[in-house]
Amino acid sequence: MKSNIYTLLLILIALSPPAWSNDYQSIVQGLENLGEYEAAYPFAYQLALQQNTYPAWHRLATKYVKADTQGKAFFQAWRQAEQLNQRAVYKDFLSIRPHALLNLQAIHAIFKLTQASNTIADYQQFMADFPNAIESIEALLKIHELAFARAKQADDPLIYDAFVTTFSGAKQIPQAIELAFQAEKRAIELDIKAWEADFQKHYQGSPSVISTFLDWRLEQNARALFSDALVAEKDNNRIVAARKYRLLDLEMFRHTATFTDKFMREEHREYFQLLESKNAEIANSINDMKSAVLVAIQDQTEHLDRTLKAQTQQLEDLLNTHHRAMKQQLEQIKQQELIHHRAMKQQLEQLKQQELIHNRAMKQQLEQLKQQEVIHESTWQLESGISFGFLSGRLGFNIPVSISRQQRTIKRVAQKPSKQQAYLLGMN
């Protein structure tokens, strides 16, 4: 594919310049169909250079973004946009490379065109199109200037009020409020003078009667101002209410009953405001006290928690220490019990040995006693002539049986002797 492209380029170079220029469009179209935009870019650039129009450079900069690495086509499109100097062309230029630095110049150029037209609608459109542009701040300030100029031209309190409510951040607001007051004041003064002149023209009477009717007219105007102020307060329109009350403070209304009503109402309002302020202070004090009590309770609770935790830890440590000591004592008792059992076993063995020896000795003594008894019995028989059978019958018991009983008793005592029995048996 690339070899075919290079062959085509060599053929084009060999052709004369007029023939080459005539075939630009077809060459560009053919290379674009092959997807070889890098190869087509030089020919497309020459073609755009020949045409040298904004649409041609826009097409080249948009279609050959990767090939236009140096931004030549993009810059040429900017130069054409500058020459045309049209808002639509500049906005179209911004779509080629949305993040290019030249876009800032294009936005500024659009703002220059907006300044040239100098209409509120164009400034609003600029702010809507470019809300983040630094020129939008100046556009807003220009809107304030134009709107305030129109309000001054009308010189109507209602229009001034509309300016204040519409452009809340405008620097002209204090001036607009003052101009609204002055305009309504002039209107009231002109109305009073016109009414007085008309009354004097059509009514022929004493000056006192004229003064009475004039006072009545002032009372009517004052009552109208007071009513308008109350309505404005109800509608939360503080600017209008403040102006109406300020107009009631004019010298011409100082002797009206409405002015007195206004004064009394202001006194009551100030009293209630003071009362509300005091109640608010009391409520704030109570809330502060509640907060302080809550903080104190929280601090005390935290302190108690810390103390309880510390005491609980101490008790756990003491219990653990006590458990370890009791375990050691139990081990010692087990050791002592084992030693005691061994000693008791040894003593028991010794007692069994002593009992065996004692039994042997007692058996020997018993044998000796038996022999001695036989000897004595024989001697008694010989000496007294009384037979053993006669003696046994007379005494009522059998001597061998008695000896056997004594032997069993001694053996039983020797197994668990008392201190005295052990002494008697020679065990100590």
Could you tell me if 61 and 68 are in contact, meaning their C-beta atoms sit under 8 angstroms apart? yes
The answer to whether residue 303 scores a pLDDT higher than 60 is: yes
> Can you tell me the mean pLDDT for 257-264?
69
The answer to whether residue 292 scores a pLDDT higher than 50 is: yes
Positive or negative, the Cα torsion across 36, 39, 41, 43?
Answer: negative
Q: How many residues does the chain have?
A: 428
Tokens at 237, concatenated = 């329109």
Tokens at 47, concatenated = 């073609």
Query: Which of the four pLDDT bands, split at 50, 70 and 90, describes residue 7?
Result: very low
pLDDT reported for residue 341: 77
pLDDT reported for residue 262: 67
Compute the distance between CA of residue 247 and CA of residue 225 in angstroms, rounded to an integer. Answer: 8
Compute the distance between CA of residue 325 and CA of residue 317 in angstroms, rounded to an integer. Answer: 12
The answer to whether residue 16 scores a pLDDT higher than 70 is: no
Compute the distance between CA of residue 197 and CA of residue 202 in angstroms, rounded to an integer. Answer: 9
Tokens at 82, concatenated = 């500058």
Could you tell me if 80 and 96 are in contact, meaning their C-beta atoms sit under 8 angstroms apart? no
Compute the distance between CA of residue 104 and CA of residue 94 in angstroms, rounded to an integer. Answer: 9
Comparing 121 with 38, the larger pLDDT belongs to 121
> Can you tell me the mean pLDDT for 51-71?
87
* pLDDT one-digit tens code per residue, 306-316: 766 777 687 67
The answer to whether residue 365 scores a pLDDT higher than 60 is: yes
The answer to whether residue 15 scores a pLDDT higher than 70 is: no
pLDDT reported for residue 379: 53
Percent of the chain topping pLDDT 90:
24
> How many CB atoms within 10 Å of residue 145?
16
**Of residues 194, 196, 187, 191, the one with CA closest to residue 214:** 196
Comparing 261 with 103, the larger pLDDT belongs to 103
The answer to whether residue 100 scores a pLDDT higher than 50 is: yes
Compute the distance between CA of residue 337 and CA of residue 351 in angstroms, rounded to an integer. Answer: 20
pLDDT reported for residue 124: 93
- Per DSSP, the three-state class of 236 is coil
Tokens at 250, concatenated = 């004019």
Compute the distance between CA of residue 118 and CA of residue 139 in angstroms, rounded to an integer. Answer: 10
* pLDDT one-digit tens code per residue, 407-418: 676 667 667 776
Specify whether the backbone of 420 is left (phi greater than 0), alpha (psi in -120 to 50) or beta: alpha
Query: Which of the four pLDDT bands, split at 50, 70 and 90, describes residue 276?
Result: low
* pLDDT one-digit tens code per residue, 149-169: 999 999 999 999 999 989 988
End-to-end CA distance of the chain: 132
Q: Where are the alpha helices (DSSP H) in 235-256?
A: 238-248
DSSP conformation class of 86? -
